[in-house]
Amino acid sequence: MPERRLATNEEVRVTTIRESTVPPGEGVDVPQPHANGQHGDAQPPHVDEQQSRAVAEAAREQEWRKPSFAKGLYLGQFDLDLIHPHPRPAPDRRDRGEHFMADLEAYLRTVDGAQIERDARIPDEVYQGLAELGCFGMKIPVEYGGLGLGQYYYNHALTMIGTVSPAVVALLSAHQSVGLPEPLVLAGTEEQKRQYLPRCATGAISAFLLTEPEVGSDPARLRATAVPSEDGSEYVIDGTKLWTTNGVVAELLVVMARVPRSDEHRGGISAFIVEADAPGITVHRRNSFMGLRGLENGLTSLREVRVPKENLIGREGEGLKIALTTLNAGRLAIPAICAGAGKWSLKIAREWSKARVQWGKPIGEHAAVAHKIAFIAATTFALEAVVDLSGVLADEGRKDIRIEAALAKLWASEMAWKIADDLVQIRGGRGFETAPSLAARGERAVPAEQMLRDLRINRIFEGSSEIMRLLIAREAVDAHLKAAGDLIDPHQDLAGKLKAAVSASGFYARWLPQLVAGKGDIPTAFDEFGALATHLRYVERTSRKLARETFYGMARWQGGLEHKQGFLARVVDIGAELFAVSASCVRAMMIAADSPEDGKAAYQLAATFAEQSRHRTERLLDELWHNTDATDERLAERVLDGRYTWLEQGIVDVSEGTGPWITEEIPADAAENVARRVIRPTTA
């Protein structure tokens, strides 16, 4: 979900495959929380699966007003013209961007990332240096005091920053990708933009507060409330927020809270701008994690926090929609960071594999290591291709990139984790050893194990991989739901099903014949791509095959498709591979047009990646129908029923007795604001 927070796979039970009947932009009736008399908090409302689905469905963008390349892949419509020729940054942004990147690189060489990792803290002087460079306003438009670099150069900046300090890149991306600037640019009033964006651009750090101890990927259970005052001039917010990245040092907060519905208020989950030092706000804890050890992430409570009505972003009930719209481009931050990790891993793998000699030759010349090096190199090329293409598409604003951005986040986080794991394996014992330990005995301080730890969260941040697959699956089958949603809805009456049958028959009569043959069947198709043409033909053929398989799945399971999460996940992953191959081929051709010599190398990388991807895709296609899903689900049910507890014997669980799985109470020893750190960078 939207902010940098942790989500568990337990939350995956909430799906959004069936189309809701909620009108776009309308609130959804869920049971209102009841005051429990303690700290002004409310008990989480009892929400069933259907209500949770309705809330999620109402929050998504309902219409497709612009073309989408990735959406077409799932419908068997491979429209390469949407991304080829590869779009490029606008000249004015390119000039500003290149100048900024040069200044940024020079500054980053003065930042001690090892110190940040060691101290688990970003020094004040680093905040100041970032502010002086304008890093807090990279994406903020120039007219509001920012640099106006756009998504493309913002991505490039994050790629570079992440290789110096993952904690710093998390700070900046949480501030600009999901913090206050992006929602304001998209949905704020002109007055709000002029009041807050210049502050954000000059270093007023922002944080996004949605997640609660009882609320992860199921926002329908949100218990934080924003009760309008009697005179209507303000809202009074009460709640507890968990995993608030930047919340420990933030000056400005975006808080998601539920407004009760009444005659005067449409109600619903809404977004509010809140000053972090407002009376009633307390930072109780600074959380610590497996990685990102400089992350300023906390536990924050809001008790009778008064917020002017002018601080409402958008309208009441639009909070989740604003958050999801923000993430259309905001999710691209993680792929950018992953691309940087790939580049760094490639450099270390290359240098180490040439220097380390075993069994009479460099380890890189042994096939087992060579295979890993090839995977890292080819996948890094594809990562950068996906990030750059998505970034320019976001800047142009002529395409709907909600699926592209989601696929980029999902695929990049999974691939980067595999790259990091392979690098640790290539480095052997030194890969498992910390950089300070290596340095202590005089060896190069390569933080391979740190990168593995730091990257792991990206498969959870901003929507776990499991949740992302369900969200993408919902978008991928949108055309089917519009055509046949009522037909497969078990709650629909006979008259509704008959009406839907007429609509569906017309849609499929037009659509299905298009999946029989296409350009991928023509031997000379895409010949302008030279040696890469065969891979694009494969993408086109597989796109049509994927669409057919999805249709077969809907026909077979109908309304039960929403519960076939293994099938849906594979459908999504196939589309991700096709998108990455397409982006890689288009990027290689662009590079070749600029420099024939570099183009030759780019073609080699793109071709190798396409071959590797094809093997993964073919395996996924086979597993659509040949898998152990049903067996696994039955076994999991038995495990949860406690039938195999004997298998757990012979261990000591030291976590027993340390506390409940989820606590609703703030610990009594959590001193007020003991963890809050006030950061006030200044700029000339």
Record the tokens describing residue 262, joined without a space: 């009444």
Looking at the structure, tell me whether residues 459 and 337 fall in a common domain.
yes
Record the tokens describing residue 61, joined without a space: 């963008």
> How many whole angstroms from its chain centre is CA 363?
36
Four-residue CA torsion sign, 367, 371, 376, 377? positive
Looking at the structure, tell me whether residues 608 and 478 fall in a common domain.
yes
Phi-psi region of 7 (alpha: psi -120 to 50; beta: other; left: phi over 0): beta
Looking at the structure, tell me whether residues 286 and 333 fall in a common domain.
no
- pLDDT, one tens digit per residue, over 115-143 is 999 999 999 999 999 999 999 999 999 99
User: Which phi and psi angles does 256 have, rounded to 5°?
Assistant: -95, 125
Helix (H, G, I), strand (E, B) or coil at 285: strand
Whether the CB-CB separation of 301 and 267 falls below 8 Å is answered with no
Helix (H, G, I), strand (E, B) or coil at 79: coil
671 contact partners, CB below 8 Å, separation of at least 6: 284
Inform me whether the pLDDT recorded for 277 exceeds 60: yes
Whether the CB-CB separation of 157 and 100 falls below 8 Å is answered with yes
Residue 47 in domain: no
- pLDDT, one tens digit per residue, over 153-185 is 999 999 999 999 999 999 999 999 889 999 999
Residue 22 in domain: no
pTM for the full model?
A: 0.90
pLDDT at 5: 44
pLDDT at 21: 36
- pLDDT, one tens digit per residue, over 37-64 is 334 444 445 666 666 666 666 666 777 8
> How many whole angstroms from its chain centre is CA 64?
21
User: Span 581-598, mean pLDDT?
Assistant: 97
Helix (H, G, I), strand (E, B) or coil at 272: strand
For residue 405, give the CATH number of its domain. 1.20.140.10
Counting residues of the chain whose pLDDT is more than 70, the rounded percentage is: 86
pLDDT at 81: 97
Residue 25 in domain: no
Give the chain's mean pLDDT. 89
pLDDT at 23: 36
| Strand 34-35 relative to strand 297-308, pairing | unpaired
- Look up the domain containing 528 and give its range: 467-633
Task: Give the catalytic positions in this structure.
Answer: 462
Residue 668 in domain: no
Q: CA 177 to CA 138: how far, in whole Å? A: 10
The CA–CA distances, whole Å, from 273 to 42, 170, 276 equal 21, 21, 9
Q: CA 681 to CA 127: how far, in whole Å? A: 6
Task: Mark which of 291, 315, 339 sits at the end of a domain.
Answer: 315
Q: CA 225 to CA 238: how far, in whole Å? A: 5
Q: CA 35 to CA 224: how far, in whole Å? A: 11
Looking at the structure, tell me whether residues 479 and 393 fall in a common domain.
no
- pLDDT, one tens digit per residue, over 648-666 is 999 999 999 999 998 876 6
Looking at the structure, tell me whether residues 441 and 577 fall in a common domain.
no
Residue 592 in domain: yes
Task: Mark which of 204, 223, 253 sits at the end of a domain.
Answer: 204
Q: How many Cβ atoms are within 10 Å of 119's Cβ, its own excluded?
A: 12
Looking at the structure, tell me whether residues 310 and 445 fall in a common domain.
no
Q: CA 96 to CA 74: how far, in whole Å? A: 37
206 contact partners, CB below 8 Å, separation of at least 6: 175, 179, 180, 181, 200, 246, 250, 251, 252, 253, 254
Whether the CB-CB separation of 532 and 589 falls below 8 Å is answered with yes
Q: Give bridge partners of residue 373 from the DSSP assignment.
A: none
Diameter of the chain by CA atoms? 82
Looking at the structure, tell me whether residues 334 and 393 fall in a common domain.
yes
Looking at the structure, tell me whether residues 517 and 629 fall in a common domain.
yes
- pLDDT, one tens digit per residue, over 230-241 is 999 999 999 999
- pLDDT, one tens digit per residue, over 177-234 is 889 999 999 999 999 999 999 999 999 999 999 999 887 667 778 999 999 999 999 9
HSE, side-chain direction, 13 A CA sphere, residue 600: 2
Residue 666 in domain: no
Whether the CB-CB separation of 311 and 272 falls below 8 Å is answered with yes
- pLDDT, one tens digit per residue, over 53-110 is 666 666 667 778 899 999 999 999 999 999 999 999 999 899 999 999 999 999 999 9
Whether the CB-CB separation of 339 and 385 falls below 8 Å is answered with no
Inform me whether the pLDDT recorded for 480 exceeds 80: no
Domain count, the chain: 4
The alpha-carbon radius of gyration of the chain (Å, integer) is 25
Q: CA 559 to CA 171: how far, in whole Å? A: 42
User: Span 274-302, mean pLDDT?
Assistant: 94
Record the tokens describing residue 426, joined without a space: 């290539």
